[in-house]
Amino acid sequence: MPHDHHHGSSDNLKVAFFLNLAFTIIEIIGGIWTNSIAILSDAVHDLGDSLSLGLAWYFDRLSKKGRTSQLTYGYRRYRLLGGLITGLVLLVGLGFVLWKSIERLFDPQEVRVSGMIALAVLGVVFNGAAVLRVKRGSSLTEKLVSWHLIEDALGWVVVLIGAGIMAIWDVPIVDPILSIGISLVILWNVGRNLKKVAAVFLQTTPEGFDLESFIDQATEIEGVDSLHHIHSWSIDGESHVLSAHVVREDGKADDQRIRHEIRGLLNDSTFEHITLEMESASEDCPQREENSDPDPHDHHEPES
């Protein structure tokens, strides 16, 4: 099966979780040491990140369990649940950071620059290492988690730049301005990934799969009269499903060849489950529509 990239996702998330948790502890201690409310506030945000990373790791491990009589596709969709929770927690954290940053715009506060610089360097190192690890993955959960970590790493780059500027000039308002800009960029990217997660939950046609083009190509195959009752969705954003009724022309009984050629139109590395039900043009099928081309916006089917 062409899904070897799944095996490293749990390890990636585990490393990211422990790196983030370790730095959160350092950050809490550092916030108390520097007497910085800003760092302590960010420590609360990072603690939320650690919790969501732990959930993502747990659900990713759970997703690798085999199928059961109740979960016929196995537990892989739990990866999406982990990604959804991670994204929602990140949105809450971003809202908190934006709120504190806007407050600081109207009430700039002095910070202990030397302590901020030291913690910022540690923050970039810890979160940067975690980003590089998770970036190796390709699942939606890992993509959402990577934005958690990118947010944190860029946040500390901002702290480092801001602390450097404030070490030279007395302009504490620089920090909240940069923080707001970074938060808005991260918010946009998290929103994009959450949209993808929602699309998979709603069982929309897999991203990158052109259903209408597939129908056109399939009906050009020798012996194929039409297709109907077509459904396609994604299990976890990476492994896809397609089922269809294929109407063969009367007198054309080479079902094996037709199935083979239709399957050849699909990407074997992404379409894991393909079900093609063959029927003749003269056969009465209750699910056959008067117009054999389905509405491309109405082709979703609940999983068994």
Give the Å distances, CA to CA, from 180 to 89, 97, 105, 153: 18, 8, 10, 15
Q: What is the DSSP string of 163-223?
A: HHHHHHS--TTHHHHHHHHHHHHHHHHHHHHHHHHHHHHTTPPPTT--HHHHHHHHHTSTT
User: Which tokens sit at 67?
Assistant: 């199928």
* Cα angle: 178, vertex 184, 188; to 5 degrees: 150
CA 15 to chain centre: 18
Q: What is the pLDDT of residue 214?
A: 92
Q: What is the pLDDT of residue 300?
A: 43
Q: What is the pLDDT of residue 212?
A: 92
What is the C-alpha to C-alpha distance for residues 173 and 170, in angstroms, rounded to an integer?
A: 9
Q: What is the pLDDT of residue 9?
A: 62
User: Which tokens sit at 43?
Assistant: 């420590």
Q: What is the pLDDT of residue 130?
A: 76
Q: Dihedral (C-alpha) 205, 206, 208, 212: value to the nearest 10 degrees? A: -30
Identical fold between 4-201 and 203-304: no
**Do residues 113 and 36 make contact, with C-beta atoms less than 8 angstroms apart?**
no
User: Which tokens sit at 189?
Assistant: 């990217």
So where are the chain's domains? 4-201, 203-304
Q: What is the pLDDT of residue 1?
A: 40
Cα–Cα nearest to 49, from 94, 8, 9 = 94
Looking at domain 203-304, its CATH class is: alpha beta
What is the C-alpha to C-alpha distance for residues 262 and 27, in angstroms, rounded to an integer?
A: 56
Q: What is the pLDDT of residue 155?
A: 73
How do the pLDDT tens digits run along the chain, 304 residues long?
444 444 456 677 777 788 888 888 988 888 787 766 667 777 777 777 787 778 777 877 777 777 788 877 777 787 788 778 878 887 888 888 888 888 888 887 777 778 888 888 888 888 788 777 776 666 666 676 777 677 777 777 877 887 888 888 888 777 778 778 877 877 887 888 888 888 888 889 998 899 999 999 999 998 898 898 899 999 878 789 999 999 988 776 688 899 999 999 987 778 988 999 988 877 777 666 544 444 544 444 444 3
What is the C-alpha to C-alpha distance for residues 207 and 215, in angstroms, rounded to an integer?
A: 16
What is the C-alpha to C-alpha distance for residues 52 and 82, in angstroms, rounded to an integer?
A: 8
What is the C-alpha to C-alpha distance for residues 104 and 99, in angstroms, rounded to an integer?
A: 9
- Say whether domain 4-201 belongs to CATH 3.30.565.10: no
**Do residues 227 and 246 make contact, with C-beta atoms less than 8 angstroms apart?**
yes
State pTM to two decimals.
0.67
- Phi–psi pair at 277, nearest 5 degrees: -100, 120
